[in-house]
Amino acid sequence: MSDAQPILEINNVSKYFGSVIALQDVSMFVRPGEVTCLLGDNGAGKSTLIKTLAGVHKPSEGSYRFEGNEVEFESPRQALDMGIATVYQDLAMIPLMSIWRNFFLGSEPTIGFGPFKRFDVDSAKRVTREEMAKMGIDIRDPDQPVGTLSGGERQSVAIARAVYFGAKVLILDEPTAALGVKQAGVVLKYILQAKRRGIGVIFITHNPHHAYPVGDHFVILRRGQVYGDYTKAEIPLEQLVQMMAGGADLQALSHELESASGDEGEDDLASAAREFRQEAGNE
Ligand SMILES: Nc1ncnc2c1ncn2[C@@H]1O[C@H](COP(=O)(O)OP(=O)(O)O)[C@@H](O)[C@H]1O
Ligand SMILES: [Mg+2]
């Protein structure tokens, strides 16, 4: 991990929804040109934390600094205008629309002015192709509907778009969760591209096997609190896997299923046990 100043930093942030404590006393920082992985089981508070960083939620308590200054966002638009871009799982893309239209959704480039102003289609297509190429993706036809792209490619369009529109911090909420191994690999590659371009990336996942190869820094949330905060040098993969509550629970469950299935050979319980064991090993 570098010793660059954090671009984003929160201290002692808590978030309450009525009587629900979604986050309690959470402190973390993000450095430019690094990948900060935010890990935690379902309900740990990951989405609440990134929504707080993205200006969707206001912290109930605690402080938020961006580029060294205290900030208080009134809306996600304010956070985005300062360079904090978030790619949510549903991606906010329109499948039937072309790649280039999706790329410029909400930020269409225009030529001319006043009543002569019109959408500059040619430059939009060119920029889309160029920006995707910078991320290492060869778009053959920018007119192709986004819906025809694979899940990994769609994520990469969303990442390239955020980078092009000047993201300094890029927040990715479980971008690999719904993807197979190969497609997840594609997305991990783009995360590294964004990092190399100096962006502070926050990568949310519950899969330490996705986090570890690309992460510089790992923050583990559990029940709304920081359960661990390590640089890569401080924690080996095995320990990160151990710390993920889900992994431990699945291991225990697989043993139970195994003993319940006895030694009657390959029955449903035995194969379920094997699947759970694989899950536990892979997650
Ligand atoms: N808008 C909300 N109102 C009430 N409770 C919420 C709200 N958002 C999240 N929570 C609660 O906060 C906790 C953390 O949720 P969340 O941040 O979505 O976790 P994760 O993304 O890690 O799965 C959960 O107990 C969830 O039910
Ligand atoms: Mg979530």
Say which CATH number the domain at 97 has: 3.40.50.300
pLDDT band at residue 121 under the 50/70/90 scheme: confident
- Contacts (Cβ under 8 Å, ≥6 apart) of 236: none
Q: Which of 61-70, 222-231, 252-261 has the lowest mean pLDDT?
A: 252-261
Decide if pLDDT at 279 tops 70.
no
Q: Which domain-ending residue is among 212, 235, 258? A: 235
Alpha helix positions (H), the chain: 46-53, 76-81, 99-103, 121-134, 151-164, 181-196, 208-214, 237-243, 245-261, 268-282
Ligand positioned closest to the Cα atom of 224: 1
Establish if 191 belongs to a structural domain. yes
What's the whole-number mean pLDDT along residues 180-199? 86
Predicted confidence (pLDDT) at residue 69 exceeds the cutoff of 90: yes
Per the structure, how many domains does the chain have? Answer: 2
The alpha carbon of residue 8 and the mean position of all alpha carbons in its chain are separated, in whole angstroms, by 16
On the question of pLDDT at 163 being above 80, the answer is yes
Given a contact cutoff of 8 angstroms between Cβ atoms, the answer to whether 102 and 154 are in contact is no
In a domain, 2, yes or no: no
Residue 64's pLDDT band (cuts 50, 70, 90) = very high
**In the predicted structure, residue 144 carries a pLDDT above the cut 80:** yes
Domain residues for the domain of 142 are 8-235
Pocket test for ligand 1, best of 48, 58, 205, 227 (most atoms within 8 A of CB): 48
Same-domain pairing of 250 and 231 = no
Q: Does any domain span residue 1? A: no
pLDDT at 176 over 50: yes
Ligand 1 pocket check for 86: Cβ under 6 Å: no
Q: Is the CB of 205 under 6 A from ligand 1?
A: no
pLDDT, tens digit, 9 for 90 and up, residues 148-157: 887 778 888 8
Q: Which of 51-65, 105-119, 248-262 has the lowest mean pLDDT?
A: 248-262
Same domain, 120 and 191: yes
Report in angstroms the alpha-carbon separations of 8 from 160, 218, 228, 246, 257: 21, 15, 19, 29, 45
The lowest-confidence range among 71-80, 137-146, 219-228, 231-240 is: 137-146
Average pLDDT of span 89-107: 78
> Does the pLDDT value for residue 106 go beyond 80?
no
The verdict on 181 and 267 lying in the same domain is: no
Nearest ligand to the CA of 48 is 1
Same domain, 170 and 145: yes
> Averaged over 47-73, what is the pLDDT?
96
Give residue 282's pLDDT.
47
pLDDT of 104 reads: 85
- Is the Cα dihedral 270, 272, 273, 274 positive or negative? positive
The closest residue, in CA terms, to atom 16 on ligand 1 is 45
pLDDT band of 91, cuts 50, 70, 90: low
Condensed to tens digits (0 to 9), the pLDDT of residues 24-59 reads 999 999 999 999 999 998 889 999 999 999 999 999
Is the pLDDT at 60 greater than 90, yes or no?
yes
Same domain, 136 and 230: yes
Shared domain for 84 and 27, answered yes or no, is yes
Q: Do both 249 and 221 map to the same domain? A: no
213 pLDDT tier (thresholds 50, 70, 90): very high
Q: How far is the CA of 37 from the centre of ligand 2 (A)?
A: 14
Nearest Cα to 224, choosing from 62, 69, 70?
62
**273 and 164 housed in the same domain:** no
In a domain, 50, yes or no: yes
Do 201 and 254 belong together in one domain? no
Same domain for 190 and 93: yes
44 lines ligand 1 (CB under 6 A): yes
Query: Do 119 and 216 belong together in one domain?
Result: yes
Give 110 or 262, the one with higher predicted confidence: 110
Quote the pLDDT of residue 146: 84
- Nearest-CA residue for ligand 1 atom 6 is 17
CA of 40 to the centre of ligand 1 (A): 12
Tell me: do 170 and 96 sit in the same domain.
Answer: yes
What residue's CA is closest to ligand 1, atom 14? 45
